[in-house]
């Protein structure tokens, strides 16, 4: 958000903070959310870079297209294990997976 917008909102009595503060997440919980989001973004980017559809990736995972959609949406029911397996199935190298782990904000 732009600083000027933030300033005007605060002047109007609004409070601003991070999503982690709003949700009351610990540092560990916020790190886990950041990790999942980075990996999910890497799955989508790798799939698209390789020209794969969600159906193609689902076949590689022996899963369904709707499950791949949940992976890419960062659904809470999706485990880190499945996200990493999807990333590898999409064609990512180990180095690509490492980059995704480093991409955490």
Q: How is residue 16 written in tokens?
A: 């601003």
Where do the domains of the chain lie? 23-102
Q: What pLDDT, on the 0 to 100 scale, is given for residue 55?
A: 98
- What is the CATH number that goes with domain 23-102? 1.10.260.40
DSSP codes, 73-100: HT-TTS-HHHHHHHHHHTT--HHHHHHH
Contact 87, 42 (CB under 8 A): yes
Q: What pLDDT, on the 0 to 100 scale, is given for residue 63?
A: 96
Q: What pLDDT, on the 0 to 100 scale, is given for residue 104?
A: 66
User: pLDDT of the chain along its 105 residues, tens only?
Assistant: 688 888 888 888 888 778 788 888 898 898 888 899 999 999 999 999 999 999 999 999 999 999 999 999 999 999 999 999 999 999 999 999 998 888 665
């Amino acid at each position: 958000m732009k600083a000027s917008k933030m300033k005007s909102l605060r002047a109007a009595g609004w409070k601003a903070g991070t999503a982690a503060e709003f949700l009351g997440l610990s540092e560990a919980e916020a790190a886990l959310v950041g990790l999942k989001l980075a990996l999910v973004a890497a799955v989508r980017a790798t799939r698209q870079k390789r020209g794969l559809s969600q159906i193609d990736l689902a076949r590689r995972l022996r899963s369904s297209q709707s499950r791949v959609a949940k992976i890419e949406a960062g659904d809470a029911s999706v485990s880190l294990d499945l996200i990493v397996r999807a990333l590898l199935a999409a064609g990512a190298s180990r180095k690509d997976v490492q980059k995704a782990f480093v991409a955490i904000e």
